[in-house]
């Protein structure tokens, strides 16, 4: 499957964007969360919403 990019800054998350191809030969998934004053559950719930949306597309 092709990669999906998810961008979020502070409390604003954008819809997932499917990328046409991997940027390099490393096809491992990478998740980076840089947060402040956001609980872990909020991040997990938001991430799962993105996963669900990506599966539909």
Domains of the chain: total: 1
pLDDT at 10 over 90: no
Mean of pLDDT values over 6-17? 86
- Do the Cβ atoms of 12 and 42 come closer than 8 Å? no
Question: Left (φ > 0), alpha (ψ -120 to 50) or beta: where does 37 sit?
Answer: left
Domain assignment of residue 30, given as a range: 4-56
Specify the DSSP class assigned to residue 14.
Answer: P
Q: What is the pLDDT of residue 6?
A: 87
Q: What is the pLDDT of residue 47?
A: 87
pTM of the complete model:
0.49
- What CA–CA distance (Å, rounded) separates 3 from 29? 8
């Amino acid at each position: 499957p092709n990669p999906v990019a998810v961008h979020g800054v502070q409390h604003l998350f954008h819809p997932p964007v499917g990328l046409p191809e991997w940027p390099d030969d490393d096809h491992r998934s990478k998740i980076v969360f840089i947060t402040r004053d956001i609980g872990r559950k909020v991040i997990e719930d938001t991430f799962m919403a993105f996963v669900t949306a990506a599966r539909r597309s």
